[in-house]
């Protein structure tokens, strides 16, 4: 469940984050200002608070005429976690775009590229490599933050560990092995990501002329 949540959160967070990040470099002032505002708002709020807000304010079902679609809690959790991820990816995109030398913009401009052609064909492809390491970093952080959703009643590894504890009559001596097991699983998943991130960072740091 943690992996499912982290996967969908990253998917939504990245898609929304790229759009928001591009919004931050928009030439249209209201778009730029509001993108900046939402980025800062969600980037600087505690994740747990965002989660609570989403869980408590979102409906648990949606009516489509006759049919009623139930929204499971974990989906709401995905949405709640997507917000800070979106904001942080937005900053990653903005930073990467701004790290491309201005000469690239000028060259594209002088070749009569439109602004959107410049962004999609010239600037973003060069940013892509640079965005991978921070992106993976955020994925690892997100995965480690997924147990937060247990506080909201979503079944995931920490909830399960607690249930297992209860099934064993809460013997305190089981605390360390049970939760330690959860810890090991997280570590086994996140540590390779962290290593890979480091490697990629090394590889791409010198790549650019």
Partner 1 sequence: MDTNNWTSEQPIVSLKDVHKSFGTLEVLKGISFDVMKGEVICIIGPSGSGKSTLIRCINALNKINSGSIMVRGLEVNDPDLNKLELRKNVGMVFQQYNLFPHKTAIENIMMAPMLVLKESKDEVLSKARSLIRKVRLEDKENTYPGELSGGQQQRVAIARSLAMNPDVMLFDEVTAALDPETVKEVLVTIKELASEGMTCILVTHEMGFARELADHIYFTDRGIIVEHGPPATFFEEAKDPRTKEFLSQIL
Residues in touch with partner 1 (CB under 8 A): 101, 103-104, 106-114, 117, 121-122, 125-126, 207-209
Q: Count the neighbouring beta carbons within 10 Å of the beta carbon of residue 39.
A: 23
Q: Which residue, 28 or 53, has its beta carbon nearer to partner 1?
A: 28
Q: Which residue, 37 or 208, has its beta carbon nearer to partner 1?
A: 208
112 conformational bin, left if phi > 0, alpha if psi -120 to 50, beta if neither: left
Q: Which residue, 125 or 177, has its beta carbon nearer to partner 1?
A: 125
Taking the complex as a whole, how short is the minimal distance between the CB of residue 26 and partner 1, in angstroms? 18
Taking the complex as a whole, how short is the minimal distance between the CB of residue 24 and partner 1, in angstroms? 22
Taking the complex as a whole, how short is the minimal distance between the CB of residue 106 and partner 1, in angstroms? 6
CA atoms within 13 A on the CB side of 72: 8
Q: Count the neighbouring beta carbons within 10 Å of the beta carbon of residue 138.
A: 21
- DSSP letter at 45 equals S
Taking the complex as a whole, how short is the minimal distance between the CB of residue 112 and partner 1, in angstroms? 4
Q: Which residue, 11 or 107, has its beta carbon nearer to partner 1?
A: 107
Q: Count the neighbouring beta carbons within 10 Å of the beta carbon of residue 203.
A: 12
């Amino acid at each position: 469940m943690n992996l499912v949540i982290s996967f969908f959160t990253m998917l939504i967070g990245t898609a929304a984050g790229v759009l928001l990040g591009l919004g931050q470099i928009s030439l249209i002032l209201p778009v730029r200002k509001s993108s900046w505002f939402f980025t800062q708002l969600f980037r600087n709020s505690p994740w747990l608070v965002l989660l609570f807000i989403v869980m408590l304010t979102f409906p648990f079902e949606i009516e489509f005429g006759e049919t009623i679609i139930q929204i499971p809690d974990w989906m709401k959790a995905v949405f709640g976690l997507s917000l800070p991820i979106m904001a942080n990816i937005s900053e990653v995109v903005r930073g990467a775009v701004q790290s491309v030398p201005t000469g690239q913009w000028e060259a594209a401009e002088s070749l009569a590229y439109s602004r959107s052609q410049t962004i999609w064909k010239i600037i973003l492809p060069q940013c892509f490599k640079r965005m991978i390491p921070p992106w993976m970093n955020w994925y690892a952080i997100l995965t480690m933050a997924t147990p937060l959703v247990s506080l909201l009643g979503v079944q995931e590894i920490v909830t399960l560990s607690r249930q297992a504890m209860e099934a064993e009559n809460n013997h305190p001596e089981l605390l360390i092995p049970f939760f330690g097991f959860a810890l090991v699983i997280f570590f086994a998943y996140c540590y390779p990501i962290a290593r890979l991130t480091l490697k990629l960072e090394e590889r791409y740091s010198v790549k650019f002329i």
